[in-house]
Amino acid sequence: MVLKYLGEGSSGSLNSLIKEAFLQGHVVDQEQYLKGAYHHNLKPVTIERCSRATYFRRKKQSFQKGETAKIVIEVVSDDVYPPGYLKTIYIPCNSKFEKILNSKPRVFDIEHPYLEYNSQEEDKILVVKAQALKNILGPVCKLTLFDLSFDVLFNFSIKYSPRLNRNSILYAGEELVLDLLRIKYPEEKAKKVKELKYLCSEANEQLKSRKAIELYYELKEHWRESKRELSHDLIDWIGTVISPELGALLHLELRLKQAEKELEEGEVEFVFDDLRVMRRYRYRKEFSKGRHAIMLIPQILYNGGTDYGIFIMVYNGWYEPPKTYIVRGYRSINKTWVDPSLPTVGAKVNRIKIAKMLDR
C-alpha cells in the first residue's frame, strides 16, 4: 500500500507533496519520502493508503498535466550518497525555468559551487568558477534562484571577477569567479559558545578535591561511551552531595553542548546581493541544517548567447559543506533538455545515459 491524494485533486496534491519534500530537505531520497508520507499524514496534503500501481499512476498524471517535471541529478556532496551518484526526481513545472534551458551556446566550462572563506568566524561565500573556452567580449553575470518549495524564481545581478566592460576581452583559458550568495556568520550564537567555553575553563580550575576531579573524568568517559546526556537533575544532585564546583562545571558544559548544537544546526541567513545601477539590494532568507532545497542557476550573458549551470543546494550546518547536486537532465510534457557539457558517450556520466534515465 502506498498513497492516495485527496482534496485539491490527486495529481495536484502530489505536486504539493513534492514541494513539501524539498522544504524538508529531501532531494535524492525524495521517492522514499513520498512513499512513506502516508504514515505521518503530512500537511497540507491529506493522504490515505492505496496500491503501488495507483501511486505511480498519480505521478504519471501529474507529469502529463504539466504540473511536474523529471530531472536527473548528479551528487557532488552528500552525507549518504557518493559523488557521481545519479538519481531521477521530480520538481514543479515552471515555464520561466524552461525558458532558461532554451539557450544553446556553450563557451564556458562551469564548475560546481564551493564555499570560500578564511575562517569559521566570518561570512562564507558560495562561489562558482567558469573557464572561457574561447575569447569572449564583455560578459555579464546574473543568478536565478528557483525556490523549489514554493515554485517561484528570483533574479539577481551578482558580483563577479574580473569585472569587464563591454569592450574588454576575456581570453580563452581565463576564469570568471561568480559570487552566488553569502551565508551570514551567526554572530550571536558563536558569541554564546565562546562565553560558555571561557566559563567552563574558569570552572574547571575551581575543582580542588582529587575526588571531584576523578569523578569529573569518570563522568566524561561514561558520557562519551553511553552517548547519553547527563540531566540537570542528576547534575544538581552531584553539586549538592559531592561537590558544588563539579556541579557548576557540569551545568556549564551541558549548556555549552546545547549552544554548539544550536550553532551547527540552527538557522542562518542566506544573503543574495543584487548589484544594479549604482545601488545594492539584498534579499535575505533563513535556512536550517538539512532543510529547504533551493536551485541555483548562475548565468553568463555575452554577445551571442547565455551559458549557465544548474545546481540544487541544501544547507548542511555551519561547519559542514552544503549538500550539492548538479542537474544533468530535464524533461516535462513540453521540454526535454540534457546538459550539453556532458560527452555523448564514453564517460561514466554521459548524455545518452541521462536521456535514458529521463525516458523511464
Mean per-residue pLDDT of the chain? 86
d(CA 114, CA 112): 7
Three-class secondary structure of residue 288 per DSSP: coil
Look at residue 138 and tell me if it is in a domain: yes
Look at residue 83 and tell me if it is in a domain: no
In this prediction, residues 11-27 reach a mean pLDDT of 86
| One domain for residues 35 and 177 | no
| One domain for residues 127 and 145 | yes
The pLDDT of residue 137 is above 50: yes
- Which pLDDT score is estimated for 8? 43
- Which pLDDT score is estimated for 44? 46
Q: How many CB atoms lie within 10 A of CB 87?
A: 17
Which of 65, 81, 116 finishes a domain?
A: 65
d(CA 257, CA 341): 46
- Which pLDDT score is estimated for 327? 98
Angle (deg, nearest 10), helices 10-23 and 52-64: 90
Look at residue 234 and tell me if it is in a domain: yes
| One domain for residues 111 and 168 | yes
Look at residue 137 and tell me if it is in a domain: yes
pLDDT above 90: percentage of residues in the chain: 53
pTM of the entire structure?
Answer: 0.84
The string of pLDDT tens digits covering residues 235-291 is 788 777 777 888 888 889 889 988 988 888 888 999 988 776 556 667 888 899 999
289 touches 316 (CB < 8 A)? yes
- What H or E segment, with its residue span, contains residue 55? helix 52-64
Three-class secondary structure of residue 5 per DSSP: strand
Residue 291: half-sphere exposure toward Cβ, Cα within 13 Å: 12
The Cα-based distances of 23 to 17, 63, 70, 145, 311 in angstroms read 10, 20, 18, 15, 16
The pLDDT of residue 3 is above 50: no
Q: How many CB atoms lie within 10 A of CB 112?
A: 15
Look at residue 81 and tell me if it is in a domain: no
- Which pLDDT score is estimated for 2? 41
d(CA 145, CA 97): 10
| One domain for residues 273 and 355 | yes
- Which pLDDT score is estimated for 277? 52
Residue 212: half-sphere exposure toward Cβ, Cα within 13 Å: 21
- Which pLDDT score is estimated for 6? 37
Look at residue 87 and tell me if it is in a domain: no
- Which pLDDT score is estimated for 50? 60
Say which residue, 58 or 95, is predicted with more confidence.
95
| One domain for residues 194 and 137 | no
Q: State the total domains in the chain.
A: 3
- Which pLDDT score is estimated for 120? 84
Three-class secondary structure of residue 45 per DSSP: coil
| One domain for residues 104 and 172 | yes
Which of 265, 292, 313 finishes a domain?
A: 265
The string of pLDDT tens digits covering residues 203-236 is 888 877 777 788 888 877 877 777 667 777 777 8
| One domain for residues 289 and 248 | no
| One domain for residues 36 and 150 | no
| One domain for residues 153 and 191 | no
In this prediction, residues 297-307 reach a mean pLDDT of 94
Say which amino acid occupies 192: K
pLDDT above 70: percentage of residues in the chain: 90
The pLDDT of residue 294 is above 80: yes
Q: What is the DSSP string of 63-102?
A: HHTTSEEEEEEEEEE-SSSPTT-EEEEEEE--HHHHHHTT
Angle (deg, nearest 10), helices 244-265 and 187-205: 160
| One domain for residues 130 and 246 | no
**263, 243, 239, 241: which is closest to 251 by C-alpha?**
239
The string of pLDDT tens digits covering residues 148-192 is 999 999 999 999 999 888 888 999 999 999 999 999 988 888 899
In this prediction, residues 43-58 reach a mean pLDDT of 65
In this prediction, residues 32-58 reach a mean pLDDT of 66
Look at residue 321 and tell me if it is in a domain: yes
| One domain for residues 25 and 170 | no
- Which pLDDT score is estimated for 280? 64
Domain residue limits at 32: 1-65
d(CA 181, CA 159): 9
| One domain for residues 231 and 244 | yes
Which of 23, 48, 65 finishes a domain?
A: 65
Q: How many CB atoms lie within 10 A of CB 209?
A: 12
Look at residue 43 and tell me if it is in a domain: yes
Least confidently predicted of 10-19, 121-130, 164-173, 336-345: 10-19
